[in-house]
Amino acid sequence: MVQLRDDIEHHIVTWAEVHRDTRILVRRLMNTGPWQGIIALTRGGLVPAAIVAREMSIHVVDTLCITTYDEQVKGNLKILKEPEAAMKTGGEGWLLIDDLVDTGTTMKAARERLPNAHFATVYAKPKGLELVDTYVHDVEQEVWVFFPWDTEPQYAHPISEGRS
């Protein structure tokens, strides 16, 4: 069960919204490239990267695995895996996909490793926006976005029961 913090505004994104918004991203990317492949910035970029790969007929998908978060708490940045082929060119000819750029911490680390890649996200917050080349939606900095792969549907008691 997801515990929502009272001090952070939150927005829940559905599977349908992720799919729709990622297809909008694809339309914005159609006249870019050509691309040798896609790099999914994990874990959040995996689902959008799969949609982009399908819609753009790109068959090479790799990952850049960076972790900075433990639920809603920022932690230490760790590089877990780098995309070998893209690293050889600094990302030249590669499209890096993520779900959201937040503070920019992860994107800065990705940019340092792949400065020539094209960075695209579905959602972007102001602090990380300058690190992204293409994106779809602006999100206010103080909003915590819950993606469908981080949540689960569950029963909600009627308001009349006083348990909301």
Q: How many CB atoms lie within 10 A of CB 75?
A: 10
For residues 118 and 94, what is the distance between their CA atoms, to the nearest angstrom?
6
What's 30's DSSP letter?
T
Q: How many CB atoms lie within 10 A of CB 65?
A: 14
- Mean pLDDT (whole number) for 52-79: 86
Q: From the candidates 7, 70, 98, 138, which is the catalytic residue?
A: 98
Q: From the candidates 99, 133, 138, 150, which is the catalytic residue?
A: 99
What's 8's DSSP letter?
S
- Range from 76-80, 103-107, 113-117, 160-164 carrying the lowest mean pLDDT: 160-164
pLDDT band at 72 (very low <50, low <70, confident <90, very high): low
Domain boundaries, the chain: 9-152
- Range from 50-59, 64-73, 154-163 carrying the lowest mean pLDDT: 64-73
* Catalytic status, residue 99: yes
* Catalytic status, residue 133: no
Model pLDDT, residue 75: 67
Q: From the candidates 6, 21, 70, 102, which is the catalytic residue?
A: 102
CATH no. of 9-152: 3.40.50.2020
71 pLDDT more than 70: no
The single-letter code of the amino acid at 48 is: P
Model pLDDT, residue 3: 53
* Catalytic status, residue 102: yes
- Mean pLDDT (whole number) for 90-119: 97
Strand pairing partners for 12?
A: 146
Strand pairing partners for 123?
A: 100, 137
